[in-house]
């Protein structure tokens, strides 16, 4: 007769393979209840055991989040005490139990990483998680510690407890892990992943992300994940809005209208190296010379001018510097001229023309995502004034714009990854 002894280690390794169906809390409870021995001719016992687990496993899983919320803070206090006392055995048992209750949350990952680095056994990403994702969560936590008041931190934590692994911000656990990282850093080779992680956990998360930004660990999974996250953020569109002021200069016969100041706005999106905007400009002032127009079959002269432009523009970045863009843009729209008769109850007439505009642009980008641009524009026009002064001719203009482009998710994400401009 061939006997097989099913002990805790065997059951754990077997049931972990089924963790897509069974929560870890389930199989550890069952291991404690059903440690038994069996032989190869009594496999039906195992079938009944599996049936029991699949039926009752979800009931255990439903309580997992509640258990974590209740126990995580206590685990964090005990782990901090074990670190302070240098009790590695107690630390290992506590982290094992904490992970079973809550999974590999950021506090559990941080403590586990420090434990492995201290033992010289850190091999990179732990199973089922990502160093980068855990680093981002820690950076958010650390910014709250460094930049917010205790009351602000408490309010933020109250609404995001699950995000922070149910461990209060800047309490015993955070302070002890920072001290532990600071103690360990002199025992690790500079320039390694472990070294930058210890710098991060000691209170300098920006150095960890700067190392990835600057090309450290190029061939590692961590660097590839970092590049993917950066590129994903860069692809996000940004809301773009600006105000404009400039001068409009008609050419050829249209020059009879004279030069006019203009004010306007643009609203649109920036995506990658492209800007897409809806544009409105308003022009005003007297004409350079009296203009002949036909009103109610009568030829009259007037100098009262209003005008405008409504269109869509596309601008493409050709050269991108550290804080500036050189662009080429084109736009299509409708150009308006309105002339108003003199007098107390004046008549008015409006002329319209399709407009095609293009030109170069220089855009300076400030660190707070505001920008200042200057652009000379040439516009192809086809205005017609039947029976009056000729409006044949095109126009050019010089416009200065001040605006703002941003996507809060994009900017916060890229800043967190170590980017100031993009």
pLDDT number for residue 125: 58
Cβ contacts of 257 within 8 Å, gap of 6 or more = 250, 287, 288, 291, 305, 307, 337, 391
Over pLDDT 90: what percentage of the chain?
A: 64
CA nearest neighbour of 405 among 232, 276, 244? 276
Residues 203 and 259 in one domain: no
Residues 246 and 192 in one domain: no
Residue 422 inside a domain? The answer is no
Using the 3D structure, point to which of 199, 214, 234 is the last residue of a domain: 234
Using the 3D structure, point to which of 215, 234, 253 is the last residue of a domain: 234
pLDDT in tens, 69-104: 889 999 999 999 999 999 999 999 999 999 999 999
> Which run of H or of E encompasses 371?
strand 370-380
pLDDT number for residue 58: 46
> Which run of H or of E encompasses 152?
helix 150-159
Burial of 180 (0-12, 13-18, 19+ CB in 10 A): buried
Residues 299 and 224 in one domain: no
DSSP string, 56-123: HHHHHHHTHHHHHHHHHHHHHHHHHHHHHHT-HHHHHHHHHHHHHHH-S-HHHHHHHHHHHHHTT---
Residue 54 inside a domain? The answer is yes
pLDDT number for residue 363: 97
Residues 185 and 316 in one domain: no
DSSP class of 258: -
Total length of the chain: 422
Residue 78 inside a domain? The answer is no
DSSP string, 308-370: EEEEEEEEEEEEE-SSEEEEEEEEEEEEEEEEE-SSSS--EEEEEEEEEEEEEEEEEE-TTSE
Residue 109 inside a domain? The answer is yes
Enumerate residue ranges in the chain where pLDDT < 50: 1-44, 46-62
pLDDT number for residue 63: 53
The tokens describing 166, both together, are: 């149910």
Domain that holds residue 108: 95-234
The tokens describing 268, both together, are: 């649109």
Q: Within a 13 Å sphere around the CA of 332, how many CA atoms are in the beta-carbon half?
A: 1
**For residues 303 and 285, is the Cβ–Cβ distance under 8 A?**
no
Residues 226 and 246 in one domain: no
Residues 321 and 400 in one domain: yes
Residues 315 and 353 in one domain: yes
Query: What span, in angstroms and rounded, lies between the C-alpha atoms of 68 and 63?
Result: 9
**For residues 352 and 372, is the Cβ–Cβ distance under 8 A?**
no
Residues 279 and 328 in one domain: yes
Cβ contacts of 79 within 8 Å, gap of 6 or more = 91, 94, 95, 98, 111, 173
Where residue 271 sits, what CATH number does that domain have? 2.40.160.20
CA nearest neighbour of 268 among 235, 244, 237, 245? 237
SS3 at position 280 = strand
Query: What span, in angstroms and rounded, lies between the C-alpha atoms of 4 and 22?
Result: 24
CA nearest neighbour of 209 among 280, 146, 131, 269? 131
- Tally the domains of the chain: 3
The tokens describing 157, both together, are: 């934590």
Query: What span, in angstroms and rounded, lies between the C-alpha atoms of 9 and 123?
Result: 23
Q: Within a 13 Å sphere around the CA of 69, how many CA atoms are in the beta-carbon half?
A: 11
Residue 57 inside a domain? The answer is yes
Residues 229 and 271 in one domain: no
| Alpha-carbon Rg for the chain in angstroms | 34
């Amino acid at each position: 007769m061939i006997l097989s002894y099913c002990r805790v280690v065997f059951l754990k390794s077997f049931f972990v393979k089924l963790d897509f169906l069974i929560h870890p809390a389930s199989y550890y409870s069952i291991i404690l209840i059903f440690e038994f021995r069996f032989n190869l001719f009594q496999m039906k016992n195992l079938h009944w055991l599996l049936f029991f687990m699949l039926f009752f496993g979800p009931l255990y899983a439903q309580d997992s989040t509640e258990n974590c919320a209740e126990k995580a803070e206590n685990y964090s206090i005990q782990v901090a005490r074990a670190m302070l006392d240098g009790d590695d055995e107690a630390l290992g048992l506590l982290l094992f139990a904490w992970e079973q209750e809550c999974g590999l949350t950021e506090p559990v990952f941080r403590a586990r990483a420090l434990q492995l680095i201290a033992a010289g056994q850190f091999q990179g990403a732990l199973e089922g998680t990502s160093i980068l994702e855990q680093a981002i969560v820690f950076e958010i936590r650390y910014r709250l510690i460094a930049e917010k008041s205790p009351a602000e931190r408490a309010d933020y934590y109250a609404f995001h407890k699950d995000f922070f692994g149910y461990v209060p911000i800047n309490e015993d656990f955070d302070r002890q892990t920072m001290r532990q990282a600071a103690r360990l850093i002199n025992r690790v080779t500079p320039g390694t992943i472990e070294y930058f992680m210890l710098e991060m956990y000691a209170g300098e998360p920006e150095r960890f992300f700067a190392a990835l930004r600057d090309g450290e660990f190029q061939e590692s999974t961590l660097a590839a994940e970092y590049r993917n996250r950066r590129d994903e953020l860069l692809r996000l569109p940004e809301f773009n809005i600006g105000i404009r002021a400039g001068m409009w200069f008609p050419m050829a016969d249209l020059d009879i209208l004279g030069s006019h100041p203009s004010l306007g706005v643009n609203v649109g999106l920036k995506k990658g190296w492209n800007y897409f905007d809806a544009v409105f400009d308003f022009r005003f002032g007297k004409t350079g010379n009296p203009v002949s127009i036909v009103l109610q079959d009568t030829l009259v002269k007037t100098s009262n001018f209003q005008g405008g432009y409504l269109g869509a523009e596309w601008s493409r970045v050709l050269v991108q510097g550290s804080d500036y863009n050189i662009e080429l843009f084109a736009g299509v729209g409708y150009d308006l001229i309105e002339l108003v008769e003199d007098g107390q109850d004046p008549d008015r007439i409006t002329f319209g023309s399709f407009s095609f505009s293009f030109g170069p642009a220089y855009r300076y980008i400030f660190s707070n995502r505001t920008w200042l641009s200057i652009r000379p524009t040439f516009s192809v026009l086809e205005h017609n004034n039947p029976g009056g002064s000729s409006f044949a001719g095109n126009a050019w203009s010089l416009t200065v714009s001040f605006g703002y482009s941003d996507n809060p998710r994009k900017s916060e994400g890229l800043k967190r990854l170590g980017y100031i401009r993009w």
